């Protein structure tokens, strides 16, 4: 029923592979080049001592040139050195400072709020009707939903993005992420990034996603990422052990449940400090989203990605302005 051959799946896999390859390629290329030159040196010494290749020596004496076989070996060595240089140049592109504008939309509930909803719940709730209207608007205006992997690859490696990229994020892992957001995203062939609070899924809390649902979403191409274990304030009363528990603990749980290590983090209530960012980097998080408003992202601050908040009161004209004004 669910389409699984979307553009972003390929993009995401490609981005993940790209993130790993360059260093391995350099090591491999340098290793092979070194081994090859060693073998050539040892080989030619051996031949000089034993006279094992008199034909080659005779050739050289007669013509003053290297034997064609020797030239071929030197050619291969030169090729490997060139390969290592290209790989090194490719990896160096990582240090380039880049600035990219991509709206990262921040949603919470995609559902009609209950009659007794307080003003916070109302503010955080976008009805499925409005959400579908927003997706239709994005589609009609040629936007392409991308993942945070795509943005990260563009920021750090200069990967090309589609003309009008947009990232759709959903915080907290509410049940309506599966019941409402997921089918609509699927219908409009757009990828969503869902930040889950892992203890809430472990406890099978009412009103939240189950791991089974999260797995189904991930298998259909949605991105399941990390929003801590208990939604704790990471900037207050959270020491190093607490940060490791909240960040590494949730990342490992997602890896076990979904089968893929999360690489992107969403600060609970948008709260963070330097120590939280240190722990994020130590556990291998590539980037993190905040609740600070904006669409401009810089490559040297990937742990402070800005977002555009979509509220219950956001109507389509305002929505159009929010995602488009940066283009003018």
Binding site for Zn ion (CB under 5 A): 171-172
**Closest distance to Zn ion from the beta carbon of 102 (Å):** 21
Nearest to Zn ion of 171, 186 (CB atom)? 171
CB of 1 to Zn ion, least distance (A): 30
Evaluate whether 36 touches 77 at the Cβ level (below 8 Å): yes
For helices 148-157 and 7-50, give the axis angle rounded to 10 degrees: 40
Which residue in this structure is represented by tokens 């749980």?
253
Side-chain half-sphere exposure of 126, counting CA atoms within 13 A: 25
Give the Cα separation of 80 and 41 in Å (integer): 16
Q: Which two tokens stand for residue 94?
A: 């990582």
Q: Of the two residues 154 and 167, which places its CB atom closer to Zn ion in the complex?
A: 167
**Considering beta carbons, is residue 171 or 176 the nearer one to Zn ion?**
171
Do residues 168 and 108 make contact, with C-beta atoms less than 8 angstroms apart?
no
Shortest reach from residue 227's CB to Zn ion, in Å = 6
Please name which of 3, 77, 91 lies closest in space to residue 40, comparing C-alpha atoms: 77
> Residue 106 or residue 138: which is nearer to Zn ion going by CB?
106
User: In angstroms, what is the minimal distance from the CB of 225 to Zn ion?
Assistant: 12
Q: How far is the CB of 265 from Zn ion (least distance, A)?
A: 11
Spatial distance between the Cα atoms of 304 and 319, rounded to a whole number of angstroms: 23
To Zn ion, the closest distance from the beta carbon of 111 in angstroms equals: 16
Cβ at position 108, least distance to Zn ion in Å: 7
Comparing CB distances to Zn ion, the nearer of 220 and 235 is 235
Minimum CB distance to Zn ion smaller for 149 or for 171? 171
Instruction: Find out whether 252 and 260 touch, Cβ atoms under 8 Å.
Output: no
HSE-up of residue 159 (Cα within 13 Å, Cβ side): 23
The minimum distance between CB 268 and Zn ion, in angstroms, equals: 5
- Please, which residue, 8 or 195, has the CB nearer to Zn ion? 195
Beta strands (DSSP E) in the chain are 99-101, 104-107, 109-110, 125-126, 144-145, 165-171, 192-196, 223-226, 264-266, 287-293, 296-298, 305-309
State the minimum distance, in angstroms, from the CB of residue 118 to Zn ion: 16
Token digits for 236? 């207050």
Residue with nearest beta carbon to Zn ion: 171
Question: Who contacts 155 (Cβ-Cβ below 8 Å, separation ≥6)?
Answer: 98, 100, 297, 298, 299, 302
Reduced to 3 states (helix: H, G, I; strand: E, B; else coil), residue 108 is coil
131 Cβ contact partners less than 8 Å away, ≥ 6 residues apart: 107, 110, 180, 181, 184
Which tokens sit at 152? 């990260």
Closest by alpha carbon to 125, among 113, 116, 117, 135?
113
The residue among 172 and 176 lying less far from Zn ion, judged by its C-beta, is 172
Nearer to Zn ion (CB atom), residue 227 or residue 297: 227
């Amino acid at each position: 029923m669910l389409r699984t051959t979307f553009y972003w799946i390929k993009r995401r896999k490609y981005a993940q592979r790209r993130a790993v390859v360059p260093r391995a390629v350099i090591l491999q290329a340098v290793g092979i080049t070194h081994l090859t030159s060693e073998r050539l040196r040892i080989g030619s010494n051996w031949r000089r001592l034993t006279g094992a290749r008199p034909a080659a020596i005779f050739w050289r004496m007669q013509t003053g040139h290297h034997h064609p076989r020797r030239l071929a070996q030197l050619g291969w060595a030169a090729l490997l050195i060139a390969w290592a240089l290209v790989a090194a140049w490719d990896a160096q592109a990582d240090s380039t400072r880049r600035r990219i504008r991509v709206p990262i939309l921040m949603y919470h509930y995609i559902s009609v709020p209950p009659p007794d909803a307080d003003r916070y719940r109302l503010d955080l709730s976008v009805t499925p009707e409005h959400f579908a209207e927003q997706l239709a608007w994005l589609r009609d205006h040629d936007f392409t939903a991308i993942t945070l992997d795509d943005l990260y690859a563009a920021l750090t490696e200069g990967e090309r993005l589609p003309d009008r990229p947009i990232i759709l994020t959903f915080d907290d892992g509410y049940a309506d992420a599966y019941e409402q957001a997921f089918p609509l995203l699927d219908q409009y062939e757009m990828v969503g990034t869902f930040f889950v609070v892992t203890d809430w899924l472990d406890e099978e809390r009412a009103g939240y996603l189950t791991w089974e649902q999260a797995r189904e979403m991930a298998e259909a191409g949605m991105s399941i990422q990390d929003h801590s274990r208990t939604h704790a304030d990471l900037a207050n009363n959270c020491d190093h052990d607490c940060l490791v528990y909240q960040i590494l603990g949730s990342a490992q749980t997602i890896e076990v449940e979904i089968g893929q290590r999360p690489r992107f983090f969403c600060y609970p209530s948008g709260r963070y400090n330097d120590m939280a960012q240190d722990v994020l980097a130590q556990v291998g998080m590539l980037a993190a989203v905040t609740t600070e408003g904006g669409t401009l992202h810089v490559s040297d601050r990937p742990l402070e990605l800005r977002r555009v908040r979509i509220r219950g009161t956001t109507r389509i004209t305002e929505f159009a302005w929010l995602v488009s004004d940066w283009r003018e």
